[in-house]
Amino acid sequence: MFLDLCGIDLEKKVAEISKEERSKVVNLLKDFRITPIKLDDWDKAIVTAGGVNIKEIDPTTMKSKIVENLYFAGEIIDVYGPTGGYNLQICWSTGILAARS
């Protein structure tokens, strides 16, 4: 697909690629733009935004400021980060804190 976008004939051998075509490859590698057009559906969701407002939770215990003896951990709380471990860390950290409290 990449070579297609560069306009390079896929039947060509590497040695047959011209200087201009190599230039196109380099330029596209350095400036490859993707425009997201929509979100994927619920089945593919990785993390949820929304949930219990952190202002309603004591951050030192994860205890609800509103309901007695109610503690929160993980996805139910309105915090999230980019994919890459932040969300799991949020779940583990809030989970252990709630459990110890």
Q: Which residues bind ligand FAD (CB under 6 A)?
A: 46-47, 74-75, 83-88, 91
The nearest distance, CB 45 to ligand FAD, in angstroms, is: 6
Number of H helices, E strands in the chain: 3, 2
Nearer to ligand FAD, 36 or 84 (CB): 84
Alpha helices in 1-101 (DSSP H): 2-6, 19-30, 86-100
Which two structure tokens, joined as six digits, stand for 20? 């201009």
Which two structure tokens, joined as six digits, stand for 8? 């390079």
The nearest distance, CB 44 to ligand FAD, in angstroms, is: 8
The nearest distance, CB 47 to ligand FAD, in angstroms, is: 5
